Amino acid sequence: MKLTLSRIRSQLIYDNRSFWRNPAAAFFTFAFPLIFLVVFTSMFGNDVITTPSGISASGSTFYIPAIITLSVINSSYTGLAMQVTVLRDSGFLKRVYGTPLPVWLFLSSKIIHLTFVGLILIVIVSLFGSLLYGVTLPSNTVVAALCSMILGLFAFSSLGLAITTVIPNANAAPAIVNASVIPLLFVSDVFIPLENAPDWMVYISAIFPVQHLARMFLSAFDPFVAGSGYEFGHMAIVAIWGLAGLIIAIKRFSWEPRI
Q: How confident is the model at residue 55 (pLDDT cuts 50, 70, 90)?
A: low
Average pLDDT across the chain, whole number: 83
Compute the distance between CA of residue 184 and CA of residue 4 in angstroms, rounded to an integer.
38
Mean pLDDT, residues 206-210: 92
pLDDT of residue 237: 95
In this predicted model, what pLDDT tens digit does every residue of 71-122 receive, in sequence order? 889 888 988 898 889 888 888 888 877 777 777 788 788 888 888 888 888 8
> 43 or 86, which is more confident?
86
| Phi/psi of residue 31, nearest 5 degrees | -80, -30
Q: How far is CA 92 from CA 3, 101, 212, in A?
A: 25, 13, 35
The closest alpha carbon to 62, from 166, 170, 134, belongs to: 134
CA 244, 245, 251: angle at the middle one, nearest 5?
90
Q: How confident is the model at residue 253 (pLDDT cuts 50, 70, 90)?
A: confident
pLDDT of residue 212: 93
CA dihedral 116, 119, 124, 129 (to 10 degrees): 170
pLDDT of residue 31: 82
Of 7-21, 138-152, 210-224, least confident by mean pLDDT is 7-21
| Cβ contact 49:56 at 8 Å | yes
In this predicted model, what pLDDT tens digit does every residue of 238-248 receive, in sequence order? 999 999 998 89
| HSE (side-chain half, CA atoms, 13 Å) at 126 | 21
pLDDT of residue 239: 95
3-state helix, strand, coil in the chain (%, to 5): 75, 0, 25
> What does pTM read for this prediction?
0.84
pLDDT of residue 226: 72
Instruction: Name the DSSP letter for residue 139.
Output: S
pLDDT score of 52 more than 60: no
